[in-house]
Chains A and B, each alone.
Chain A
């Protein structure tokens, strides 16, 4: 399973990527939307973990751009801000179960990743 991590907090994504690697999940991390799009152009990912509030572009718009390049990719939104509009927008975009509030427990995250992967596998 290949996962793309996008968050402006480098400390957070780098550590998270390392921890996922330890659990056998290939994780690539970037800190802005340009890098994210480049990565998508370069490689293929199963799942993207997007921060809702990125510096220049929000996670929802980024999702649409990525989706245009790799339509089979799945998305999980990550936010530190539990505001109503974020919640509603993300729920509408990908269902409320794909919306996680920071800080996330690693076990919860890996379980969610495996679950999505399994769903994808079933479909294929």
Chain B
């Protein structure tokens, strides 16, 4: 809380507003509530769409990015499949072409087969060997690095598969039947795969097969040249889930792919999954038709969304800063506006008090004038009758001896004189209330006020000293209002000096000679500093329970302001209070009272 101390000064005054739910001087609004409501509504109106937009934008962007990732993976898988299919087709057609271009006898010629292998290597590279297998499954001719001529393949799966195909379509002489094998190590212990092509003799007769094995190197190159991005990779597995080309994260050739075999589809497919290492991956796959291979493209999602994350956090920071700025501006504006309304309302209330007070005083004035007049006539009769009695005593000797009666008459006359003084003061008071600007001397005003208060001062054991030099020029001012100002201030001073004390009233001309500065000092109980700043506010009172309305000083303040003057207060607890009232010599220099009236 200590940190908030310097800001205490800036706390808008309406936050200190006391709750007043009823009464004539009820404020127009509950300003604390008005303030909170306007902040809440404005913030809601501004922030709700902002948050909604931000959330919608976030979701849409994320979705777009996800689908973009999936699409890109699918596209890459599709392209790679096309490349791989083309590569394999090309080799199948090459072999097929050989069976069409050569007769069985030609192919069975060892020299010719060797020549053909040479040509294939020259044109299409990576050919390992070439073998001719007759309808019994026996390899009748072979060109290549091994001596495997004469081996019988009739019990091998791939041979049977092709053989059965031949049975079904025996009469379709032009149909091309081929088989691409899994990649395997074989006796050579290097990964390779085998393409076999079946040939039916068009003139009828026994079929035969041309079989070639190829290095896997070219396949690897094709796959590694795919730009998968980040930590992603492309590789082949077969339909049993055995890895066919090396993978960085999922094992080497002939190992089992840990994520399982994706379901068959004619088209390129994608799915998302958490892999065996716990990473979230996007997998794009495609079955390569007529081969046992499945192309897999695996990408790590975290790598791919990294850029998105940084954009995301930048957006978040931007959002937070915007929200802070909006909140600051909204709170600032609402506070400013509500405070302005509060100030106007306070002014309105003060004017209302003042108007009411003036009204009250005018009524009192009329009443007192009436009363004074009505009393004055009978009083005059009493006066004259008593005077006559006294005269009789004085002028006629026969009564002169009775001193006691004379005393009684004197007492009556004295009482009448007292009553007359009171009615005269009342009339004087009533007259002053109606007067507006006139020429007055401050000492006269103060003297009149003190005359009213003289008994009270004596009663409370208060000594009053007045120092208003005659050299001070007369004021052009409102006598009644001046009187009210001094009545209020002197009353307050008296109230502060319950156990007696000294009241000093001093006036002097300001240095520039345009104003009269009057100080009213008492030696009373003083005012604590925390109350000093609120002392001129309406309804601020410390006399609660003793009939204080909290309006006296507020009205005084209003009156002094209206007279073009200013008022200030200094106080030390238990030592006393000094109020300084500065008044212009002439009200004309202030044609418009600075105290704006807001009440109708």
Contact = CB atoms under 8 A, between A and B. Distances in A.
Given A9-B377, A16-B384, A102-B379, A82 B372 contact: yes
Interface stretch (A38-46, A58-66, A89-97, A103-111): A103-111
A19 interface: yes
A83 interface: yes
A106 B428 CA distance: 22
B362 to A, nearest CB: 13
B376 A84 contact: no
B388 A15 contact: yes
A103 B416 contact: yes
A81 interface: yes
A80 interface: yes
Nearest to A13: B384
Chain B CB within 10 Å — which of A83, A104, A105 has the most? A83
Given A82-B428, A83-B431, A9 B380 contact: yes
A87 B377 contact: no
A108 B81 CA distance: 136
Given A82-B431, A105-B417, A19 B384 contact: yes
A9 B378 CA distance: 9
Interface in B375-395: 376-377, 379-385, 387-388, 391, 395
A22 interface: yes
Contacts of B376: 80-81, 101-103
B384 A15 contact: yes
B427 A101 contact: yes
A15 B380 CA distance: 10
A119 to B, nearest CB: 26
A87 B420 CA distance: 17
A12 B427 contact: no
Contacts of A81: 369, 372-373, 376, 427
Contacts of B395: 22
Contacts of B464: none
Chain B CB within 10 Å — which of A22, A81, A102, A103 has the most? A103
A22 B427 contact: no
Contacts of A16: 384
A87 B435 CA distance: 13
Interface string B306-322: 00000000000000000
Contacts of A9: 377, 380-381
B424 A101 contact: yes
A103 B388 contact: no
A56 interface: no
Contact of B381 (A12, A82, A84, A101): A12
B598 interface: no
B234 interface: no
B431 A103 contact: no
Nearest to B428: A82
Given A80-B380, A81-B376, A82-B428, A103 B385 contact: no
A112 to B, nearest CB: 16
A104 B416 CA distance: 10
A122 interface: no
A84 B427 CA distance: 9
B542 interface: no
Contacts of B382: 103
Contacts of B388: 15, 18-19
Contacts of B374: 80
B268 to A, nearest CB: 109
Nearest to B383: A103
A103 B427 contact: no
B434 interface: yes
B430 interface: yes
Chain A CB within 10 Å — which of B380, B416, B424, B427 has the most? B380
A15 B424 contact: no
Nearest to B429: A82
A80 B417 CA distance: 14
A105 B384 CA distance: 8
A12 B380 contact: yes
Nearest to A106: B387
Interface in B52-104: none
Given A19-B387, A103-B416, A87 B431 contact: yes
Contacts of B380: 9, 12, 80, 102-104
A82 B384 contact: no
B381 A15 contact: yes
A24 B272 CA distance: 135
A15 B434 CA distance: 35
A80 B377 CA distance: 6
B417 A82 contact: no
A102 B383 CA distance: 9
Contact of B420 (A18, A22, A103): A103
A103 B435 CA distance: 25
Contacts of A102: 376-377, 379-380, 383, 420
Interface in B443-471: none
Contacts of B377: 9, 12, 80, 102
B539 to A, nearest CB: 34
A19 B428 CA distance: 29
B435 A84 contact: yes
Interface in A4-24: 9, 11-12, 15-16, 18-19, 22
A12 B424 contact: no
A19 B376 CA distance: 19
Contacts of B428: 82
Given A19-B384, A81-B369, A84-B431, 17 more contacts: A9-B377, A11-B384, A11-B385, A12-B377, A15-B387, A18-B391, A82-B372, A82-B373, A82-B424, A87-B431, A101-B420, A101-B424, A102-B383, A103-B376, A103-B383, A103-B384, A104-B380
Interface of B: 369, 372-374, 376-377, 379-385, 387-388, 391, 395, 416-417, 420, 424, 427-428, 430-431, 434-435
8 closest A-B pairs by CB: A82-B427, A80-B376, A103-B383, A102-B380, A15-B384, A103-B380, A81-B373, A102-B376
Interface of A: 9, 11-12, 15-16, 18-19, 22, 80-84, 87, 101-106
24 contacts: A9-B380, A11-B381, A11-B384, A12-B381, A12-B384, A15-B381, A15-B385, A15-B387, A18-B391, A19-B384, A19-B388, A80-B373, A80-B377, A82-B373, A82-B431, A83-B369, A83-B431, A84-B434, A87-B431, A101-B376, A101-B427, A102-B380, A102-B420, A103-B382
